[in-house]
Amino acid sequence: MIRWGFETIGLPEAVNYWRQFPIRERKALEAGLKKASQMLLREMKRRVPVSSGDLKKALRIRTPSKFEHIVGADSRNRYAHVVEAGRKAGAKAPPLSSRRLQRWLRQHNIPKNEWYAVARSIGQKGILARPFMAESLQAVGDKMFKELVVRVQRAMKRRGK
């Protein structure tokens, strides 16, 4: 999950500054944040590893405030962080009662008598990280920032008139 906006990148004073602006300029900035967040979401959906498609469907944009957006998997998705950060070797094996693990085992045609061995192997060897969220931000971060700068510059020009 990537939380970003003026409040999170260390510019809370910018938020206070923009709150003093007329509504037209504020709306331009909000539109820039929305557009930049959509760029990031599109890139995440393009890069996400797909097995069942659940993780890709869970990717969303949330807006806790007008000047801050959260782009990533919704709270119902419990394994996005495992895909992003991986799983340490030597950790506790995932429970065989997990529906997602059972579905994955069935999708890969693994016989039921081997499920315990697979779960134990995951616990022993871990899972390799596939940081699609971080890579997405790295890929489109400059474009996102440029989008914001362009919107702010346009709003400032309009304000100067």
The pair of structure tokens assigned to 97 is 């009662």
Rounded Cα gap, residues 107 and 102, in angstroms: 9
pLDDT at site 11: 53
pLDDT at site 10: 46
pLDDT at site 105: 92
Rounded Cα gap, residues 51 and 65, in angstroms: 33
38 Cβ neighbours under 8 A, 6+ residues apart: 61
pLDDT at site 160: 65
pLDDT at site 88: 92
* Residues 84, 131 contacting (CB under 8 angstroms): yes
The pair of structure tokens assigned to 102 is 């059972």
pLDDT at site 153: 80
Q: How many CB atoms lie within 10 A of CB 63?
A: 14
21-44 pLDDT, tens per residue?
777 777 877 888 888 889 999 999
Q: For the whole model, what pTM was predicted?
A: 0.78
Strands (DSSP E) contained in the chain are 2-5, 59-65, 68-73
- In which residue ranges of the chain is pLDDT below 50? 7-10
